[in-house]
Chain A
Amino acid sequence: MSETSGREVPAVVHIAIPRGTGTARSGRTLDGMDDELAISVRGLRKAYGDNVAVAGVDLDVRRGEVFALLGPNGAGKTTTVEILEGYRRRDAGEVSVLGTDPAQPDADWRSRVGIVLQGTGEFDELTVAEVIRHFSGFYPDADDPDKVIERVGLAGKAKARTHTLSGGQKRRLDVALGIIGRPELLFLDEPTTGFDPEARREFWELISDLAAAGTTIVLTTHYLDEAEALADRVGVIADGRLVEVAAPNRLGNRQEALATVSWRTPDGTLESAQSATPTALVADLAARYGGEVPGLTVTRPTLEDVYLTMIGHAR
């Protein structure tokens, strides 16, 4: 662990793959936190009138990490992310994104952060290539527009007016505009809402590629499988609070949770038991029944079970 960081970093350390295109930094910044963390949030609060949207969130996202904010609609995901993106003002708390307070965004910071908003901002009268080329002009170190069009799978639609695109294609355009500046950090707010399953798979591949190239990614989603497929860590947010932050397979101590063993007794009734040592229990049952145990199942809570319990508890 870096000795200059001066803060405790959680035990799970994600080692990011350096981006191939960037050059290594020669010097180190004085702010040690900046070296390890892409995002640091302490005590974040935001209310709209009486409605408290974010009620004290603490959050660290390391460089190169893919972090998913998972939660039901209205949980505070978008408010949190839009504060980090510099769109909304916070009521209280400390926020640092790439070493900068997003409430005071400057052009340099903006060029290092890519944003894919929840709602698409459409340029009806322009073509895909025109929009992407235009936005590439805003960034000091923009990617090649044609390559980006190819990468998001819009090569066949480069000359199409944006209003003729399907919902999924519009979302790809959004992502293209989010990555055209070659950001160090990419925000994706519910990127695949309304996608068909195939489009979602393709989208996940694109995100995985970006992560593999070293881009730090923060995405919000209400799809569990999306969080599980993409994220190194998942933060579950409910009623403006971060209920838990963990790797997807560790969420809610899923690994350590008791297994449920069920079987059928000779008179046909269903028996079940919770056990920390299900193998021993099954062996015991097998001995008792002298071989095959009728109707035997061994289950552990799915991510969905864990998640529903968590957001249920928060209510």
Chain B
Amino acid sequence: MTTTTKPARPAAASRGRRPAAGALALRQGRLEITQFLRSRESVVFTMGFPIIMILIFASIFGGTIGGGVKFTQYFITGMIATGLMTVSFQNLGIWIPIERDRGVLKRYRGTPMPKWVWFAGKVIMVVAIGIAETALLLAVAVALFDLDLPGTAGKWLTFGWVAVLGVTACTLCGIAISSLARTARSGSAVVTPVALVLQFISGVFFVFTDLPTWMQQVAALFPLKWMCQGLRSVFLPESFGAQEPGGSFELGRVALVLALWCVIGVVLCLTTFRWTTKRDG
């Protein structure tokens, strides 16, 4: 056999250009959003839950919490925070184990797609759904319960950074906690109790300062309490800051704790994330 009969194969150079990474991330995000929107359970429970809750709460507690501030004005902050946590932490913590179990993640790993593109797709999906869901929630609250929207650019800015930092922390923690679930079905068993307990102790369903002090202190270890507190500074009058446990809205501390959880989330993701199930090696 001479060298001339050697099978020809395309040289690396003759192959087309590697697809641009930014475009890949956007395509991945679009695919994730499509998958989310086509999954009826996701849409109803993730997008609908905070709206159903605000409808119930606003209907039960029609009064004010003092100072002429409506109850809705207080609870909208908890509902926005809960909604953001649902689309990021719960959504990912429940869906990633299902995708891992089905072998979807393993299949992605077998392609030349850079790993980060998959994570970027999830983040794009969470951000898009989070914005849509928050806008819907605000629209419902304004239309039905006379919610007062923030009046200054500064407050909208605070709204923006609290939401971004909170969603980032919850997204990272959702990806991290997805590795705790051993099977597709156990994802929601792992995530739901965590989310529910955090909602109760972080002042989503009650006025935070009415909770026992020890409970407030436990809640202060986790992001949700700080997301609620940051949002209260946006939706409540300045004077209400005095009623917070720290005597003010403590925006600096809100930023610090949420940023810390982002760091914790990244570390957990990098150290614990699995593309395949345990039985899969």
Contacts of B185 in A (CB 8 A): none
**Contact at A22–B106, with CB atoms within 8 Å?**
no
Give the distance to chain B from A30, nearest Cβ to Cβ, in Å. Answer: 15
User: Is B8 a contact of A22 with CB atoms below 8 Å?
Assistant: yes
Chain A residue with the shortest CB-CB distance to B35: A125
Tell me which residues across on chain A come within 8 A of B114, comparing CB atoms.
107
Cα distance A82–B276 in the bound complex, in angstroms = 12
Bound together, the chains give a CA A124 to CA B184 distance in angstroms of 14
B15 touches A141 (CB 8 A): yes
A147 within 8 A of B: no
CB distance from B26 to the nearest CB of A (A): 10
B27 within 8 A of A: yes
Q: Which stretch of B17-25, B163-171, B193-201 is in the interface?
A: B17-25
Contact in complex: A25, B9 (CB < 8 Å): yes
CA distance A2 to B6 in the complex (A): 9
Bound-complex Cα distance A265 to B281 (A) = 60
Interface mask (A99-138 → B, CB under 8 Å = 1, otherwise 0) = 0000000011011010101011111111000100011011
Q: A111-B112, A134-B31, A139-B111 are in contact. Are A2 and B3 (CB under 8 A)?
A: yes
Q: Are B111 and A87 in contact (CB under 8 A)?
A: no
Which B residues touch A27, using CB under 8 A? 11
Binds B, one of A12-20, A221-229, A239-247, A270-278: A12-20
Q: Is A85 an interface residue (CB 8 A)?
A: yes
Give the residues in chain B near A194, CB-CB below 8 Å.
none
Chain A residues closer than 8 Å to B17, beta-carbon distance: 140
What residues make up the interface of A, taking CB atoms closer than 8 Å to B?
A: 1-2, 13, 15-19, 21-27, 35-36, 48, 63-64, 79, 82, 85-88, 107-108, 110-111, 113, 115, 117, 119-126, 130, 134-135, 137-142, 177, 181-182, 184, 214
Whole-angstrom distance between the alpha carbons of A107 and B15 in the complex? 13
CB of A26 within 8 A of CB of B19, answer no
- A64 CB contact (under 8 Å) in B7, B15, B107, B111: B7
Number of A-B residue pairs with CB-CB distance less than 8 Å in the complex they form: 124
A-B contact pairs, 16 of them (CB 8 A): A1-B1, A2-B6, A18-B7, A25-B9, A82-B281, A85-B110, A87-B106, A107-B114, A108-B12, A111-B15, A121-B103, A125-B35, A134-B27, A140-B15, A142-B16, A214-B7
Known interface pairs A19-B8, A121-B102, A125-B34; A140-B16 also in contact (CB < 8 Å): yes
- Write the residues of chain B forming the contact surface with A, with a CB cutoff of 8 angstroms: 1, 3, 5-12, 14-19, 24, 27, 31, 34-35, 38-39, 102-107, 109-114, 276, 281
Specify which chain A residues have a CB less than 8 angstroms from the CB of B27 in the assembled complex.
134, 137
Question: When the two chains form their complex, are residues B15 and A121 in contact, meaning their CB atoms are under 8 A apart?
Answer: no
Q: How far is the CB of A17 from chain B (nearest CB, A)?
A: 8
Complex: chain B residue closest to A48, CB-CB: B281
Residues of B within 8 A of A88 (CB): 281
- Report the minimum CB–CB distance from A113 to chain B (whole Å): 8
Complex CA distance for A173 and B12, rounded to whole angstroms: 27
Determine the chain B residues whose CB is within 8 A of the CB of A36 once the complex forms. 6
Determine which of A25, A113, A117 lies in contact with B106 in the assembled complex, contact meaning CB atoms within 8 Å.
Answer: A117
Cβ–Cβ contact B35 & A123, under 8 A: yes
Inter-chain contacts of B105 with A (CB < 8 A): 121
Shortest C-beta distance, A144 to chain B (Å), equals 13
**In the complex, which residues of chain B have a beta carbon less than 8 angstroms from the beta carbon of A110?**
110-112
Write out the residue numbers on chain B whose beta carbons fall within 8 Å of the beta carbon of A82.
281
Return B184 CB to nearest CB of chain A, in Å.
11
Docked CA distance A219–B112 (Å): 21
Shortest CB distance A34–B (Å): 10
B15: chain A residues at CB < 8 Å are 111, 140-141
Taken together as a complex, chains A and B put the C-alpha atoms of A122 and B5 apart, in Å, by: 41
B103 with A214: CB separation less than 8 A: no
CB nearest neighbor in A for B19: A137
* Cβ–Cβ contact B112 & A63, under 8 A: no
Residues of A within 8 Å of B18, CB to CB, are 107, 140
| Distance between Cα atoms of A37 and B113 in the complex (Å) | 26
B118 CB to closest chain A CB (Å) equals 11
- Closest Cβ–Cβ distance, residue A240 to chain B (whole Å): 15
Q: A85-B110, A123-B35 are in contact. Are A19 and B9 (CB under 8 A)?
A: yes
**Complex CA–CA separation, A139 to B107 (angstroms):** 14
Q: Is the CB of A121 within 8 A of B107?
A: yes
